[in-house]
Structure 1
Amino acid sequence: MNVTDLTVKNDYCIGCGVCAGVCPSNNLYIDWSPRGELIPHTNNLCNDKCSICLDICPFNNHKINQDAITNSLFSKTRNIKYNEYTGYYLNCYVGFRKDTVKRLKSASGGLATSFLASLIKENIVDRIIAVGISEDNNRMFNFKILNNSNEVYSCAGSAYYPVEISRILKEIIKEKEEFEYAVIALPCVAYALRLAIDKIPKLKKKIKIIASLTCGQLQNRFCTELLSLESGIKVNELAKMNFRQKSENNSAINYMQVATDKNGNEGIPQANQELPSHLWHYQYFKQNACNFCDDIFGEVADVTFMDAWLPEYIDNYRGTSLIISRTPLALKLLENSHEYNLKEISVNSVIESQMGLIQKKRTLLKGKLYKSESSNSFYPEKRVKPDFNVYNENREFIDLTTEIQDLSKELWPKYRLDKSTAEFWNELKPLESKIAKYERKIRIKNLMTKPKKFFKKISGS
């Protein structure tokens, strides 16, 4: 049995590619599924006695979970602190890169890119592994090996698009040179890499630092295609997508999404907050694995970067970053750099900035686990447990978003080559009606709740 028989078959694969990257039999390769997701496929060369792909899959069940890994990595660090949501941390920061040009080219405050560049400048690692624009016509973005700080800066920005790391892992496992690497990835990939490092001595020797970004969910490539078509660029003409173009007329959270065709022509910029809000909130095109992730802050990473989604920073269109540092090395690099405008911030403020993700990944997850458990289907064990009460309280939202995820992936291939998204949305009208009905219920519920809270407050009870 391998990941194609278990994780992929049950639709829990996130497409990280770590399994294919470390497979000793070259049995696995990563390619697109009909649902617009990167998944492992088999060459039918599997060794029956080998289980490494399952041992390092972030959505399989393991004796070694994130808590066990972080205890081993960080618990004995001097002055280390712990929070149930962030995991271990030495300190938290808020700030941005002083170089305004580089800051504007980044997704938020530019600190993740600058930190990675400093690792090469200070000779701490030889190379950086990060996501950049792909030269492969079949993939818009991919993991790349970056050799210097200029290459690192060229990869600044966000890619809300499926990527996988198999080719990079194969390359560094085979190489004879003693290069050392830092990797920046999403929490699920960071977890898979930690599991792989524990199994493969050469990876442990080569991957010295893991950085993470926070992540709420990952949409498949169909979402990018829809955004392109919404902006007037046909899918078969799409060359690249800028997911986080900043505009001085907008707040940091209302960034522009801009598609570009093969002739270099830009489509109509789409402001994030002017797109249908339900596209993200109701989880169109969301990969199912993301429904079963309980890691908000990349807990196994040495350092984690995120947007400063706090009231005092959102209005600054240039972007501001939050950082969680878990190692003395990361702490030293951050505090000694003259390139950053940086100050300490409380861990509670960092948590406040990501409360929506905490609701998804810790509370709603309990209800989703219960739903899977009650259907007697395989599901990945998490650090929270299935809870009927959570499912019952959120049943309509959980069931509705599950239906939306499945139907949007099923329908988009029929309309992706159209001149507009009109027919796609037209076929989804019944679901749109369900969303409107659900939102009316929520508004009425909130209106009824407010007086109760007010009277409770003034009565002191």
Structure 2
Amino acid sequence: MDWDRFGQLKPRGPADWYAARTEAFSRQCPFGTLATNEDELAADRFATAAVRDPRIGSFEQAYVGAAKDPYRAEGSSGGMVSWVASALLASGRVDSVAHVEPADPGSGGLFHFRLSRTREEVSGGAKSRYYPVHLTEVIRTIRETPGRYAIVGVPCFIKAVHLLRRADPVLEDRITHTLGLFCGHMKSAAFVQSFAWQLDTAMDEVAAVDYRIKDQGRPANWYRAHLTLKDGSSRAEDWWHLVDGDWGAGFFQNNACNYCDDVVAETADISFGDAWLEPYSSDGRGTNVVVARTPEMRDLLNSGAATRSLELASVDADFIVQTQAAGLRHRREGLAYRLRFMPPALPLQKRVAPSSAGIDRRRKLVFRSRAWIAHWSHRMAYAARRTGLPCVYTAWARASLTAYRGLTYSIGPLGRWFDRLFPKSTA
């Protein structure tokens, strides 16, 4: 895996490898043309699940809540991912947990996957990481070192792990638990470059980034980006003041995300997201929604609640869907439309068929604008880097975001103009 000009990780190899397009590779890549889809993987893994829901998959029990400190204080949300990872280690269910943490300076990236064996090491990987990473070294270590391993990842990573386990008996035996993270889309490394530009900082001065500084005095959904510089100083800004701070607009989105239909890690043993509903979204301490898909994970959470290590309340599938409503619309209705107006180069095994039925003109424009922003943000940022003129990107991004918010939220003069042209649409 290596960096391309847009700050995304891509496989790099000999020309004949690219040309081969082998059946084995197509079955193992989560976006491969022969890859087993999420429904089929889940049916095999969770054959006796208590609930089967077409929106969030199969599961035993769902919850809203948080872990007690220090887990909650250390995390971007309710600290549940770190708590479960640490509980798996403490109970001896696994020997090591693969998760993302800040990388050493000079390693070629700001974050990487590592294997942790203690609660203290796990805590070093707490918080959200909207940055490209890969599993190459972790998978190599798992193959070489006997033991029981858990892997934390976004939906396509977890799906890739299960597809690889099917093809590799060693990994099938050693990777025993998967912890999935709800995902809107993946960003490129250029997102951090954009933070630096807008905070009047050179990228080579940046030592670390925190995408979501937690402040208990502010609502949890008031994201604040924070850069730590090599001289020890720092820069910070609220996302809503950034020219690309609206997550839904799709700035720096990886193109593969246009063809993903799994928001909630449907193939993982347990899945975690943010509780984006009131009163939870206003609680600056952070709150998780959790979907336990196996009896083991359900029992682990219920045990944590019984010992008061966790504050949990049971919820139903509708509650989980409401917390991720925009993402699910984009990955189901939006995917159906994208498969129609921008079909992938190779046929993919998706659970959504190409269609524009029932989608009004304004919503079609919303879906098209997100794809347009995702495509051009990479190229405009690249042009800004090549010319040494950050304004090439920031001016374009500001104008694009203004138009997007007018179209999507009816904000400003453009919003009033769109309201006259099209009926209002919830985006």
**Would you call these one fold, judging by a TM-score over 0.5?**
yes
The separation in 2 between residues aligned to 1:412 and 1:63, in whole angstroms, is 33
Alignment-derived partner of residue 266 in structure 1 = 234
Q: For the Cα contact (< 8 Å) 1:134–1:141, is it kept in 2?
A: yes
Pick closer, same or farther for the CA change 1:102–1:418 going to 2, 3 Å.
farther
Instruction: Please show how residues 369-380 of structure 1 align to structure 2 within 5 Å.
Output: 369-373=339-343, 377-380=345-348
Q: For the Cα contact (< 8 Å) 2:339–2:353, is it kept in 1?
A: yes
Instruction: Please show how residues 205-244 of structure 1 align to structure 2 within 5 Å.
Output: 205-244=173-212
Pick closer, same or farther for the CA change 1:342–1:287 going to 2, 3 Å.
same
The separation in 2 between residues aligned to 1:63 and 1:181, in whole angstroms, is 23
Alignment-derived partner of residue 198 in structure 1 = 166
User: Secondary structure in 2 aligned to 1:244?
Assistant: coil
User: Secondary structure in 1 aligned to 2:11?
Assistant: strand
Question: Please, which of 331, 336, 356 is the counterpart of residue 298 of structure 2?
Answer: 331
The separation in 2 between residues aligned to 1:413 and 1:66, in whole angstroms, is 34
Whether 1:301 and 2:301 are equivalent positions in the alignment is no
The separation in 2 between residues aligned to 1:297 and 1:436, in whole angstroms, is 26
Whether 1:155 and 2:122 are equivalent positions in the alignment is no
Q: For the Cα contact (< 8 Å) 1:234–1:419, is it kept in 2?
A: no
User: Secondary structure in 1 aligned to 2:335?
Assistant: helix
User: Secondary structure in 2 aligned to 1:333?
Assistant: helix
Alignment-derived partner of residue 42 in structure 2 = 70
Structure 1 vs Structure 2: percent identity of aligned residues?
24
Q: For the Cα contact (< 8 Å) 1:231–1:258, is it kept in 2?
A: no
The separation in 2 between residues aligned to 1:362 and 1:347, in whole angstroms, is 16
Instruction: Please show how residues 59-98 of structure 1 align to structure 2 within 5 Å.
Output: 59-62=31-34, 64-77=36-49, 80-98=50-68
User: Secondary structure in 2 aligned to 1:259?
Assistant: strand
- Indicate the RMSD between aligned Cα atoms, in angstroms: 2.6
The code of the aligned residue for 1:114 comes to: W
The code of the aligned residue for 2:36 comes to: I
Pick closer, same or farther for the CA change 1:445–1:399 going to 2, 3 Å.
closer
**Deviation at residue 208 of structure 1 after TM alignment:** 0.1
The separation in 2 between residues aligned to 1:49 and 1:347, in whole angstroms, is 39
User: Secondary structure in 2 aligned to 1:41?
Assistant: coil
Unaligned runs of 5+ in 1: 1-29, 451-461
The separation in 2 between residues aligned to 1:49 and 1:163, in whole angstroms, is 23
Whether 1:167 and 2:137 are equivalent positions in the alignment is yes
Alignment-derived partner of residue 384 in structure 1 = 352
Pick closer, same or farther for the CA change 1:84–1:239 going to 2, 3 Å.
same
Pick closer, same or farther for the CA change 1:48–1:350 going to 2, 3 Å.
closer
The code of the aligned residue for 1:72 comes to: D
**Deviation at residue 278 of structure 1 after TM alignment:** 6.2
Q: For the Cα contact (< 8 Å) 2:67–2:79, is it kept in 1?
A: yes
Alignment-derived partner of residue 120 in structure 1 = 89
Q: For the Cα contact (< 8 Å) 1:366–1:390, is it kept in 2?
A: no
The code of the aligned residue for 1:397 comes to: V
Moved more, 178-187 or 407-416: 407-416
Whether 1:351 and 2:318 are equivalent positions in the alignment is no
User: Secondary structure in 1 aligned to 2:228?
Assistant: strand
The separation in 1 between residues aligned to 2:274 and 2:311, in whole angstroms, is 15
Alignment-derived partner of residue 422 in structure 1 = 391
Q: Which has the larger radius of gyration?
A: 1
The separation in 1 between residues aligned to 2:398 and 2:247, in whole angstroms, is 17
Q: For the Cα contact (< 8 Å) 1:229–1:419, is it kept in 2?
A: no
**Deviation at residue 43 of structure 1 after TM alignment:** 3.9
**Deviation at residue 275 of structure 1 after TM alignment:** 2.9
Q: For the Cα contact (< 8 Å) 1:304–1:325, is it kept in 2?
A: yes
Question: Please, which of 248, 260, 285 is the counterpart of residue 281 of structure 1?
Answer: 248
The separation in 2 between residues aligned to 1:433 and 1:208, in whole angstroms, is 46
**Deviation at residue 105 of structure 1 after TM alignment:** 1.6
Q: For the Cα contact (< 8 Å) 2:71–2:80, is it kept in 1?
A: no
The separation in 2 between residues aligned to 1:159 and 1:385, in whole angstroms, is 31
**Deviation at residue 45 of structure 1 after TM alignment:** 7.4
**Deviation at residue 248 of structure 1 after TM alignment:** 2.9
Alignment-derived partner of residue 8 in structure 2 = 37
Instruction: Please show how residues 441-460 of structure 1 align to structure 2 within 5 Å.
Output: 443=416
Q: For the Cα contact (< 8 Å) 1:235–1:416, is it kept in 2?
A: no
Q: For the Cα contact (< 8 Å) 1:132–1:142, is it kept in 2?
A: yes
User: Secondary structure in 2 aligned to 1:388?
Assistant: coil
TM-score, length-scaled by structure 2: 0.90
Alignment-derived partner of residue 4 in structure 1 = none
The separation in 2 between residues aligned to 1:332 and 1:317, in whole angstroms, is 28
Q: For the Cα contact (< 8 Å) 2:366–2:404, is it kept in 1?
A: no
The separation in 2 between residues aligned to 1:117 and 1:418, in whole angstroms, is 47
Pick closer, same or farther for the CA change 1:119–1:107 going to 2, 3 Å.
same
Pick closer, same or farther for the CA change 1:360–1:350 going to 2, 3 Å.
same
The separation in 1 between residues aligned to 2:149 and 2:332, in whole angstroms, is 32
The separation in 2 between residues aligned to 1:420 and 1:141, in whole angstroms, is 26
Moved more, 131-140 or 191-200: 131-140
Q: Deviations over 1:300-350 (max 9, x none)?
A: 000001111111111110101110001111111111123111121222111
Whether 1:52 and 2:24 are equivalent positions in the alignment is yes
Moved more, 119-128 or 410-419: 410-419
Q: For the Cα contact (< 8 Å) 2:29–2:35, is it kept in 1?
A: no
Q: For the Cα contact (< 8 Å) 2:26–2:34, is it kept in 1?
A: no
User: Secondary structure in 1 aligned to 2:232?
Assistant: coil
Moved more, 310-319 or 135-144: 135-144
Q: For the Cα contact (< 8 Å) 2:100–2:114, is it kept in 1?
A: yes
The code of the aligned residue for 1:209 comes to: H
Whether 1:140 and 2:110 are equivalent positions in the alignment is yes
Alignment-derived partner of residue 222 in structure 2 = 254
Alignment-derived partner of residue 280 in structure 2 = 313
Unaligned runs of 5+ in 2: none
User: Secondary structure in 1 aligned to 2:311?
Assistant: strand
Pick closer, same or farther for the CA change 1:423–1:302 going to 2, 3 Å.
same
In the alignment of these two chains, the number of paired residues is 414
Moved more, 53-62 or 163-172: 53-62
**Deviation at residue 213 of structure 1 after TM alignment:** 0.5
Q: Deviations over 1:359-401 (max 9, x none)?
A: 110011100001134xx84342310100033677333223333
The separation in 1 between residues aligned to 2:252 and 2:44, in whole angstroms, is 36
